[in-house]
A and B are shown apart, each in its own frame.
Chain A
Amino acid sequence: DIQMTQSPSSLSASEGDRVTITCRASQSISRFLNWYQLKPGKAPKLLIYAASSLQSGVPSRFSGSGSGADFTLTISSLQPEDFATYYCQQSHSTPLTFGQGTKVEIK
């Protein structure tokens, strides 16, 4: 199975800050990497697919980069609605696996 490791597990940031979350796969997954946003009581939301493609309707302040085993999600200017937990997920092969999540909290 491919293990996904995210860092940090949590972070505190202020509105307007630039935030970066990293995700590392235990083996090369090319660009088969997705990012999701979770908020309590709401449906999870796809932000980025194929490492760097922005899902329709997602604000452009979200961006993704990377290939192989190392990936990054960046929020260029944190907005109040961005306080949530973020997960990476590899779609290279089954079993599909997720990172352990990064909780973005208000500073």
Chain B
Amino acid sequence: EVQLLESGGGLVQPGGSQRLSCAASGFTFSNYGLSWVRQAPGKGLEWVSSISGSGGSTYHGDSVKGRFTISRDNSKNTLYLQMNSLRAEDTAVYYCAKDRILFTGSPSTFDYWGQGILVTVSS
């Protein structure tokens, strides 16, 4: 059974940093791309960042480019999102999501998601 479990959320001050983690199990971790998708309070879903199975390719949305960095440790089956220079508008539930397709070079379709972790940016 595929499981994705996010951690590392909480309250952070504007301008601060936070690192999210997503521990994965139930599939061959290095074979699949992974992504972060967020949902701000009362808003819809927003794609944040993606990374290929090898970690060699990364993609970031314009709203986080230069501030957030996605990475993965295939030896630990864990995905990360390093968030710097946080703003109030980054307040959201952050979901970790797995690509449906094996060895795909770019993010596409998310067949499994975690339950999400709340990040609140406020003073």
Contacts and interface: CB of A to CB of B under 8 A. Distances in A.
Interface of A: 32, 34, 36, 38, 41-46, 49-50, 55, 87, 89, 91, 94-101
Interface of A is mostly: loop
B3 to A, nearest CB: 10
26 contacts: A32-B108, A34-B109, A34-B110, A38-B39, A41-B115, A43-B4, A43-B95, A43-B113, A44-B37, A44-B110, A44-B113, A46-B109, A46-B111, A46-B112, A55-B111, A87-B45, A89-B47, A89-B109, A91-B109, A94-B47, A95-B61, A96-B35, A96-B108, A98-B44, A100-B44, A101-B44
Interface of B: 4, 35, 37, 39, 44-47, 50, 59, 61-62, 95, 97, 100, 106-116
Contacts, number: 65
Can you list the 6 inter-chain pairs with the closest CB atoms, starting with the nearest?
A: A96-B47, A91-B108, A98-B45, A43-B113, A44-B113, A101-B44
Given A44-B95, A87-B45, A89-B110, 11 more contacts: A34-B110, A38-B45, A43-B113, A44-B45, A44-B110, A46-B109, A46-B111, A94-B107, A95-B62, A98-B44, A98-B47
A96 B99 CA distance: 13
Interface of B is mostly: strand
A67 B57 CA distance: 29
A45 B116 CA distance: 13
Nearest to B99: A91
Contacts of B110: 34, 36, 44, 46, 89
Given A95-B47, A99-B44, A43 B115 contact: yes
